Structure 1
Amino acid sequence: MNILLRRAGWLVPVLALLLLSGATARSEPTSGDDLHARMDDFARTRMSQVELPGLAYAVVEKSGTVHTGTFGHDGDGGDITAATPFLWGSVAKPVTATLVTAMAAAGELRLDAPVTAYLPSFRLRDATRSARITLRHLLEQTSGLATTTRYTDRTDPDRRPGDVLPELATAELVSEPGTTHHYSSTNYLLLSAVVEAVTGRPFARVLAERVLDPLGMRTAVTSAVDAERVPRGHRFVFGRAVPFATGYDPAGVGYGYLGGAVGAAAAFARAALGGGGISADQRTAMFDPAARTGPDSYYGLGWRRWTLDGADTPMIWHGGSSPGFFAQVILLPERERAVVLLTNVSSPVHETQLLDTGFGLAQLVSGAAATPRAPDRAYALMLGVLVALLAVLITASGLTARALTRPVRRDGRWRLALATAVWLTVVPALLYGLALALPERMGVRLGQLALWVPDIAWLVYGVLGTATLLLVLRLAVVARAVGGWRQNRTAIGTDE
Structure 2
Amino acid sequence: MTILVRCVAWLAAVALLIITTAGPAAADEHGNTPRLYDTMDTFVRDRMSNAGSPGAAYAIVDRDGIRHSGTFGSDGDGGAVSSETPFLWGSVAKPVTATLVMAMVSAGELRLDAPLTTYLPSFRTRDVERSAMITVRQLLDHTSGLPTSTRHTDRTAPHRRPADVVPELERESLVGAPGVTYRYSSTNYLLLAAVVEAVTGRPFPEVLRDRVLGPLDMRDAVTTAEQARATVPHGHRYVFGRPVPMATPFDPAGVGYGYLGGSVADLAAFARMNLGGGVEVVGPAQRAAMVAGDVPTGPDRSYGLGWRRWAIPGTDTPMVWHGGAVPGFWAQIILLPEHAVVLLANSYGPLHEPKLLNIGFGLAELSLGRQPPESPSTYTYPVVLGAMLAMVVILLGLIVHGVRLLIGRRPATPSRVRTGAVLAGWVLVLGGVLYGFGRILPTRSGVELYQLGLWAPDVAALVFATLIAAGVLLVLRVVIGLRALRR
User: TM-score, normalised on structure 2?
Assistant: 0.89
Task: Please state if 1:141 is matched with 2:151.
Answer: no
CA-atom RMSD in angstroms = 2.2
AA of the residue aligned to 1:374: P
Determine which of 357, 365, 368 is the counterpart of 1:366: 368
What is the rounded CA distance, in whole Å, between the counterparts of 1:382 and 1:48 in structure 2? 20
Q: What are the Cα deviations for residues 120-166 of structure 1, in whole angstroms up to 9, with x where unaligned?
A: 01111111111111101111111111222121111111111111111
Counterparts of 1:13 and 1:190 in 2: how far apart (Å)? 41
The C-alpha deviation readout for 1:62-94, integer Å capped at 9, x for no partner, is 111121100011222221111211100010000
Superposed, 1:4-403 pairs within 5 Å as 13=13, 15-16=15-16, 33-228=34-229, 229-275=231-277, 276-278=279-281, 279-309=283-313, 312-333=316-337, 336-375=338-377, 377-403=379-405
What's the offset of the Cα at 1:420?
Answer: 3.4
1:363-418 C-alpha deviation (Å, 9 max, x unpaired): 11112121234327544433232111111110111122233332334546767655
Counterpart amino acid of 2:89? W
Once residues 446 and 471 of structure 2 are traced to their aligned partners in structure 1, the CA distance between those partners, rounded to angstroms, is 24
Higher Cα radius of gyration: 1
Alignment partners' CA distance in 2, 1:297 and 1:236:
30
CA shift, 1:355, in A, is 0.9
Other structure's SS at 2:392 match: helix
Code of the aligned partner of 2:136: L
- Cα offset, 1:232, TM superposition: 1.5
1:420 aligns with 2:423: yes
- Matched residues in 1 for 2:12 and 2:347: separation? 24
* Equivalent-residue separation in structure 2 for 1:328 and 1:339 (angstroms): 8
Structure 2 residue aligned with 1:456, among 427, 448, 459?
459
Q: Retained in 1: the 8 A contact 2:125–2:131?
A: yes
Task: Please report how far the alpha carbon of residue 180 of structure 1 lies from its aligned counterpart in structure 2 after TM superposition.
Answer: 1.8
Moved more, 194-203 or 174-183: 174-183
Q: 2:447 is aligned with what amino acid?
A: V
- Paired amino acid for 2:347: V
Instruction: Measure the CA separation in 1 of the matches of 2:253 and 2:276.
Output: 30
Q: CA deviation at 1:472?
A: 2.9
Quote how far apart the aligned CAs of 1:459 are. Answer: 0.8
User: Residue type matched to 2:300 in 1?
Assistant: D
- Per the TM alignment, residue 48 of structure 1 is displaced from its structure 2 partner at its CA by 2.1
Aligned residue for 1:292, secondary structure, equals strand
SS of residue paired to 1:166: helix
Where structure 2 has 5 or more consecutive residues not aligned to the other structure, the ranges are 1-10, 19-31
In structure 2, what residue type is equivalent to 1:156? A
Aligned partners of 2:57 and 2:81 also within 8 Å? yes
The answer to whether the 8 A contact 1:208-1:218 is kept is: no
Q: CA–CA distance in 1 between the matches of 2:192 and 2:15?
A: 39
Aligned mates of 2:480, 2:264 — CA distance in 1: 61
> How far apart in 2 are the matches of 1:370 and 1:466?
44
- State the 1:205 CA deviation: 0.7
Amino acid at match of 2:332: Q
For residue 430 of structure 1, give the secondary structure of its aligned residue in structure 2. helix
Distance between the aligned counterparts of 2:271 and 2:15, measured in 1? 44
Task: Give 3-state SS (helix, strand or coil) of 2:320's partner.
Answer: strand
Q: Distance in 2 between matches of 1:16 and 1:43?
A: 34
Q: 1:337 to 1:423 in 2, by over 3 A?
A: same
- Contact preservation (8 Å) 2:94, 2:258: yes
1:333-388 deviation per Cα after TM superposition (whole angstroms, max 9, x unaligned):
2xx21111000111222222111100111111112121234327544433232111
Distance apart, 1:312 and its partner CA = 4.3
Unaligned stretches of 5+ residues in structure 1:
1-10, 19-30, 486-496
Give the AA of the match of 2:372.
Answer: A
Residues 208, 73 of structure 1: alpha-carbon distance in 2 compared, 3 angstrom cutoff: same
The offset of 1:34, in angstroms, is 1.5
* Matches of 2:412 and 2:318, distance apart in 1: 76
Choose 74-83 or 392-401, whichever is displaced more: 74-83
Following superposition, the deviation at residue 423 of structure 1 comes to 2.2
Alignment CA distance shift 1:17-1:198 (3 Å): closer
C-alpha displacement at 1:277, in angstroms?
2.3
Match of 2:322, as an amino acid?
Answer: H
Secondary structure in structure 2 of the residue aligned to 1:165: helix
Task: Give the C-alpha shift of residue 476 in structure 1.
Answer: 4.1
Cα distance in 2 for residues equivalent to 1:14 and 1:166: 40
Classify 1:12/1:55 alpha carbon distance in 2 versus 1 (closer, same or farther; 3 Å).
Answer: farther
* Deviation readout 1:14-60 (Å, 9 max, x if unpaired): 71599xxxxxxxxxxxx972221111011111122222211100111
User: Could you tell me which residue of structure 1 aligns to residue 432 of structure 2?
Assistant: 429
Distance in 1, Cα, partners of 2:254 & 2:293:
25
CA distance in 2 between counterparts of 1:425 and 1:317 reads: 44
Tell me whether 468-477 or 139-148 shows the greater mean CA deviation. 468-477
Q: Taking structure 1 as the reference length, what is the TM-score of the superposition? A: 0.87
2:194 alignment partner AA: A
Amino acid of the residue matched to residue 293 of structure 2? Answer: P
Decide whether the 8 Å contact of 1:123 with 1:131 is kept in 2. yes
Deviation at 1:222, TM superposition (A): 0.4
What residue identity is the alignment partner of 1:314? P
The offset of 1:191, in angstroms, is: 0.3
Matched residues in 1 for 2:367 and 2:445: separation?
Answer: 35
Amino acid of the residue matched to residue 87 of structure 1?
L
Q: Flag the 1:400–1:69 CA change in 2: closer, same or farther, 3 A.
A: same
Amino acid at match of 1:109: L
Q: Is the Cα contact below 8 Å between 2:419 and 2:485 reproduced in 1?
A: no
